Amino acid sequence: MNLNEIGAKAKKASYLMAGLGISSKNEGLMAVCDALTDEKNIDRMLLANDTDIKNAVAANMKESLVDRLRLTKDRIHGMAEGIRQIISLDDPVGEVINMKPRPNGLLIGKKRVPLGVIGIIYESRPNVTADAFGLCFKTGNSVILRGGSDAINSNKAIVSIIRETLSSKGLPEDSILLIEDTSRETVTRFMKLDEYVDVLIPRGGAGLIKSVVNNATIPVIETGTGNCHIYVDESADIDMAVRIIENAKTQRLGVCNACESLVIHSSILEQVLPLIEENLKSHGVELRMDERALFVCPDNASATEEDYSTEYLDAIISVKTVDSIDEAVEHINRNNTGHSESIITNDYNNSRYFLDKIDAAAVYVNASTRFTDGFEFGFGAEIGISTSKLHARGPMGLEALTTIKYVIYGDGQIRE
């Protein structure tokens, strides 16, 4: 199918989806869960993914990005579990908000409705395919997916299984469509398919997101780029700081909520930095430090200004020394991407100050940035983590995939 055919099919399916009741949507989602965890289909997905992994390794892809691409039985079951969580959540579609009478007798309210056709452009992670479908289907939207060339075989297998399942249940299989042509020319044309697509969501690195924002004629919700910081305050519990930083940086390197930059108060630097260094180096992480940090731990690389604003998605982290929480906040706000920031502190006033002053979608006190995730926030799967301030911000669950329309009840009113 060419792009216009895909768009037309998705638009037609969106009208059918908008009329589906909650029971039909949940039954369809449960059938997809069962299909994804069927042993034959698991083998089918793993076989396709193996081809993608071999191609990625042959192309010398970074191991952290290969990990994002890899499917395992556990990750496939995790995809299904994310959809099961979505099934358990309330359906926001149809909710009527703030129904109020006007002096002229009109009764005016706002009703949640699907966005319509959602386009998603994403890289590497094939689990996004199932996550996006689940959230869009539950909210009565159809979705057009354009994954990266590195995951094309995995994505084709997942989409085929979902479409076959929907068709067998008499549900609109065109509620999920995959653009199989991964050329740059096709994705550029997809960004301009505003005749059919209501909103475009890019998920990936800074280059992808910038390209979509600059080239799309469809409204865009920015997601994903994560230069996430952890600030170790002068009152921090040192053991807690080391443990949280280890988790935030090393649990998974190639994800947008991983910590990429440390900010440490100078009064605690000599106590905490050698322990952080020892811990991170045991995981193979390279530390890039400013001069004061290097004085304490000299066997490391020097940081440049560029390091402080870089999302590495790799075993690298920057270290900045500050003399006050004000300096920490200023440094973080200047270099962050509006994603997730954390403070480690035992000072209540500093925790409140950090929460109030940091400009980001998710701000933590004494916790890892790795929790910025729809699954962890109780949304089931997520469509992405929005770093925008309009329409949606942070992990985007069901409500973020709806809009409103006004519904007005009258009894013969005319405007004078």
217 and 235 in a common domain: no
Write phi, then psi, for 413 (nearest 5 degrees).
-60, 140
132/275 Cα distance (integer angstroms)? 40
157 and 136 in a common domain: yes
Specify the pLDDT at position 68: 87
118 and 21 in a common domain: yes
Where residue 89 sits, what CATH number does that domain have? 3.40.605.10
- Band (pLDDT 50/70/90 cuts) for residue 65 is confident
Query: Closest Cα to residue 293, out of 321, 260, 262, 263?
Result: 321
67 and 7 in a common domain: yes
325 and 242 in a common domain: yes
Average pLDDT over residues 148-171: 97
Tally of domains within the chain: 2
Q: Is residue 271 part of a domain?
A: yes
Mean pLDDT over the full length of the chain? 94
162 and 294 in a common domain: no
332 and 253 in a common domain: yes
Q: Is residue 323 part of a domain?
A: yes
pLDDT at 380 over 70: no
- Quick: pLDDT tens for 181-234: 999 899 999 999 999 999 999 987 778 888 998 999 999 988 868 899 999 999
Q: Is residue 248 part of a domain?
A: yes
DSSP 3-state of 198: coil
Q: Is residue 166 part of a domain?
A: yes
Specify the pLDDT at position 348: 97
Where residue 336 sits, what CATH number does that domain have? 3.40.309.10
282 and 187 in a common domain: no
Q: Domain limits at 337?
A: 228-371
By residue count, the chain amounts to 416
192 and 238 in a common domain: no
Say whether pTM exceeds 0.85.
no
Percent of residues, the chain, with pLDDT higher than 90 = 83
Query: Closest Cα to residue 96, out of 399, 405, 391, 409?
Result: 405
Strand ordering across the sheet containing 199-203: 176-178, 142-146, 117-122, 199-203
Specify the pLDDT at position 278: 97
55 to each of 50, 58, 90, 122, 205, how far by Cα in Å? 9, 5, 41, 18, 20
* Residues 84/33, Cβ–Cβ less than 8 Å: yes
Beta-strand ranges (E) seen in 282-386 are 286-289, 301-302, 316-322, 340-344, 362-365, 385-386
DSSP secondary structure code for residue 90 in this structure: P
- Quick: pLDDT tens for 14-52: 999 999 999 999 999 999 999 999 999 999 999 999 999
73 and 55 in a common domain: yes
232 and 167 in a common domain: no
Q: Bridge partners of 199?
A: 118
293 and 161 in a common domain: no
Strand ordering across the sheet containing 259-265: 301-302, 286-289, 316-322, 259-265, 228-232, 340-344, 362-365
